[in-house]
Structure 1
């Protein structure tokens, strides 16, 4: 056995790196095929934008996946964007934990404010009973942007 390990040491050491590289590549191809961003670029005409925010999708197993300072939140006049910042957009993390959303503002029902151990957060309630919790540095600016776009 030791002889096998010595003869194949380079391959054994390279395998994890190659495996991770394959997963990163597959996730990048997957996102591009579905029109998802790899780099969190701002949509045109943002009325609110905040980088490196925190958040999670509430409900079910996805509530365990929290993005801490890894999301970009943008509001345009008709859409709320919650997208992962690079490199958190790779390795299927947004797909697994539900951290990539493009939500029409007409689907936003209410915005609830919560205070907790980690500070103030907003819970965005959507028409399909989905809930997204966001920890923003400017929650009042976010609310104002949603309201000025004609929503709650």
Structure 2
């Protein structure tokens, strides 16, 4: 930075770094090229087409369900003889429905002499219920048989109907005996298996979702940390320590995406490094420690990166621990 320029000058306010390419303007030019130039990577119509296509299918499925008197967001009845939410099942209509089916997204209940099997929102969209044959509302009197069957990893109830139009379905329920009692009949016993009653409370879907989310998030955090820590070690082992000065920034002061830019000198040459410190953390004129490679001074790394990666490492370990031990912790708290 020249002596006549101050941190509050227009050049700094617009994120310009003297002697370096204006990365902000370059990024805007690339985005503009990709979005609007027909010879670029993608034009606007190519970007919008998938969203318009999916939106059209969603709108068509909503219209179809409304026209046939089917609910978009099914509600739990208050006076049901039997009700289980977020169940699994499949239709035996054809090969596609046998292989596909539904996993933890069905609402199953018996109320006012009717058996209702319907997906939960948003699985009611995109014609998924019609495609997989899992949107059923029939009278309990039209049920021909309910047969407990074994599958490779689970136990299910096969429900057959008197009408040839309706294909049999298989449902995975927590309380099979209560379901049979709500139908007012005894099920045929198949493959040597009797209907079962629950031995313990059903697992909470919210807890399962929480543990799955913690597993995905923790894996991402650990991946980010373990990919950054070797670089921190390399720069601290082979690099040269110096102090940089925050003499500019990448965006507009006060903007949440604004980040400080460190300036440092090596053998009379000045280099710049975009810092991890964002709005409200860095201060123009402030300093921060960094490391650069002796044979490649422009290749530098801020010392604060180590703390940043250690933080992600700790959070990733905690998240994975919650994912693995979440069930045990929940039983300890709510037993």
Pick the aligned partner of 2:168 from 112, 131, 147. Answer: 131
1:96 has 2:131 as partner? yes
Residue-by-residue CA offset, 1:40-89 (whole Å, 9 max, x unaligned): 21346311111110111113233233111111001014100000100100
Alignment partner of 1:94: what SS? Answer: helix
* Higher relative contact order (CA closer than 8 Å, sequence separation 6+): 1
Pick the aligned partner of 1:20 from 51, 54, 75. Answer: 54
Alignment partner of 1:49: what SS? Answer: strand
Superposed counterparts of 1:50-69, under 5 Å: 50-61=84-95, 62-69=97-104
The runs of 4+ residues in structure 1 deviating greater than 6 Å are: none
In the superposition, the TM-score normalised over structure 1's length comes to 0.88
Contact 2:93 2:133 in 1 (8 A): no
Greater gyration radius: 2
Q: Do the aligned partners of residues 115 and 8 (structure 1) sit closer, same or farther apart at CA in structure 2, a change above 3 Å counting? A: closer
RMSD after superposition: 1.9
Distance 1:44 1:33 in 2: 25
How many equivalent pairs are there?
148
In the superposition, the TM-score normalised over structure 2's length comes to 0.42
Find the counterpart in structure 2 of residue 84 from structure 1. Answer: 119
* Higher strand proportion: 1
Q: Which runs of 5+ in 1 are unaligned?
A: none
Q: Do the aligned partners of residues 6 and 74 (structure 1) sit closer, same or farther apart at CA in structure 2, a change above 3 Å counting? A: same
Q: Which runs of 5+ in 2 are unaligned?
A: 1-33, 187-335
TM-superposed CA distance for 1:6, in Å, is 2.4
Residue-by-residue CA offset, 1:73-112 (whole Å, 9 max, x unaligned): 0101410000010010000011111110001011011110
TM-superposed CA distance for 1:18, in Å, is 1.2
Distance 1:63 1:116 in 2: 12
Alignment partner of 1:72: what SS? Answer: strand
Find the counterpart in structure 2 of residue 108 from structure 1. Answer: 143
